[in-house]
């Protein structure tokens, strides 16, 4: 049986050398970026030899493990964004695999689908990664990169500009929104509370009454609101004597704004109630028009508060693309459209 020993040793060596090749794989760390968006509803789909094998939720740092001697297409997608594909070939010489494979890190950045940008180049993979004999390592296929470089750079440059414009619009969103702010009123449509009017309260000293306020030069033509808080019997007394239980009336002077030509309003008596409502509240009007076309639906929203007027438009294509505009000429994001119109 000793004559079989050399063959047994050879068989062990062959199997021992083959095991690392079978178990070996290429690890690809991915730095995944979503321009002007979150990772919600973001996915990475992995196809092996033309067949989808799994999908994982997108996140900033991913780590994909690809088996050797296979052809992969990695698809990075998010609703409303341009899908990017990367072609990866893991056909690597056995000698190189035995020497050890370092992780090959890549970066992927997704942009939104902005109207007017040519995105035909993204119908094909944006990169082809394979083993390069010249460098004895993984790398980008030079010939493939050259074939799409010009068109890809032009598209990426335009998308970067659009994304930057959107960020600038987000920065001024709160300022724009303030133009259409609506003061809070109570459900009964009565006089707004002091809190809703954001007025300044000034409580006079305990010897001040309405007559004292007038004598000090505050007449009925000034922009003041005189509110009497009464819990006693005599509303004309100038003394505040809670201990006596006879007269606890005092004046509460509320002032706001710079315009001093508004009439004085006694809230408790209900006088000039309508005038206050008209002066403080600006009515907001909003109209919505929806038009269906053969390949898209257009939603037009017009908003006005009497002083400021703005229009917003949402275009939904049958193939899934959605685009948003302000005043029919400025491209905006979904977040801004929803913020200004209150619509999805």
pLDDT of residue 11: 43
Greater pLDDT, 55 or 192: 55
Q: What single string gives the DSSP state of each residue in 91-149?
A: ---HHHHHT------EEEEE-B--TT---GGGGS-SEEEEEETTTTEEEE-HHHHHHHH
Greater pLDDT, 163 or 199: 163
- For residues 260 and 332, membership in a common domain is answered with no
Q: What percent of the chain has pLDDT over 70?
A: 62
Greater pLDDT, 148 or 8: 148
Residue 63 pLDDT > 90, yes or no? yes
Domain that holds residue 304: 173-180+283-341
Distances (CA, A) of 242 to 204, 249, 324: 16, 9, 63
pLDDT of residue 2: 52
pLDDT of residue 182: 55
- In angstroms and rounded to an integer, the radius of gyration of the C-alpha atoms of the chain is 36
Q: Report yes or no on whether pTM surpasses 0.85.
A: no
- For residues 62 and 164, membership in a common domain is answered with yes
- For residues 129 and 249, membership in a common domain is answered with no
- For residues 201 and 300, membership in a common domain is answered with no
Residue 315: alpha-carbon gap to chain centroid: 18
Residue 33 pLDDT > 90, yes or no? yes
Contacts of 5 (CB under 8 A, 6+ apart): none
* Residue 8: inside a domain: no
SS3 57: strand
- For residues 151 and 248, membership in a common domain is answered with no
Q: Which class for 265: exposed (0-12), middle (13-18), buried (19 or more C-beta within 10 A)?
A: buried
DSSP-H helix ranges across the chain: 5-23, 94-98, 142-171, 173-178, 194-197, 210-215, 273-280, 334-341
Look up tokens 């491209």; give the residue: 331
Residue 8 pLDDT > 60, yes or no? no
> Which tens digits make up the pLDDT trace of 214-245?
444 444 444 444 344 344 444 444 444 444 44
Residue 90: alpha-carbon gap to chain centroid: 38
- For residues 71 and 128, membership in a common domain is answered with yes
> Which tens digits make up the pLDDT trace of 102-128?
999 999 999 999 988 999 999 999 999
pLDDT of residue 258: 41
For helices 142-171 and 334-341, angle between their N-to-C axes, nearest 10 degrees: 20
- For residues 40 and 159, membership in a common domain is answered with yes
pLDDT of residue 274: 52
């Amino acid at each position: 049986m000793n004559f079989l020993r050399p063959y047994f040793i050879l068989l062990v060596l062959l199997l021992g050398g083959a095991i690392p090749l079978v178990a070996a794989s290429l690890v690809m760390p991915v730095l995944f970026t979503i321009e002007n968006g979150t990772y919600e509803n973001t996915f990475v789909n992995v196809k092996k030899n033309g067949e989808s094998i799994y999908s994982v939720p997108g996140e900033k740092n991913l780590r994909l493990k690809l088996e050797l001697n296979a052809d992969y297409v990695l698809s990075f997608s998010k609703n409303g964004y341009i899908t990017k594909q990367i072609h990866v070939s893991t056909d690597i010489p056995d000698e190189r695999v035995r020497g050890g494979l370092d992780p090959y890190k890549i970066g992927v950045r997704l942009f939104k689908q902005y109207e007017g940008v040519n995105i035909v180049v993204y119908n094909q993979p944006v990169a082809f990664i394979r083993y390069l004999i010249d460098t004895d390592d993984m790398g980008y296929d030079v010939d493939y990169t050259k074939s799409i470089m010009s068109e890809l750079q032009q598209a990426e440059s335009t998308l970067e500009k659009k994304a930057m414009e959107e960020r600038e619009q987000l920065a001024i969103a709160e300022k724009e929104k303030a133009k259409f702010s609506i003061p809070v009123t109570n459900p009964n449509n009565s006089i707004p509370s002091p809190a809703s009017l954001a007025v300044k309260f000034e409580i006079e000293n305990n010897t001040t009454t309405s007559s004292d306020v007038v004598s000090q030069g505050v007449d009925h033509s000034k922009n003041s609101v005189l509110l009497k808080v009464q819990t006693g019997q005599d509303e004309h007394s100038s003394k505040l004597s809670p201990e006596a239980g006879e007269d606890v009336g005092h004046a509460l002077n509320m002032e706001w704004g710079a315009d001093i030509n508004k009439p004085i309003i006694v809230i408790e008596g209900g006088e000039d109630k309508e005038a206050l409502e008209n002066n403080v509240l600006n009515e907001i009007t909003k109209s919505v028009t929806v038009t269906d076309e053969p390949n898209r639906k257009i939603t037009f929203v017009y908003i006005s508060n009497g002083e400021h007027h703005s229009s917003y438009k949402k275009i939904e294509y049958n193939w899934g693309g959605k685009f948003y505009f302000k005043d029919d000429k400025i491209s905006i994001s979904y977040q801004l459209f929803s913020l200004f119109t209150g619509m999805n």
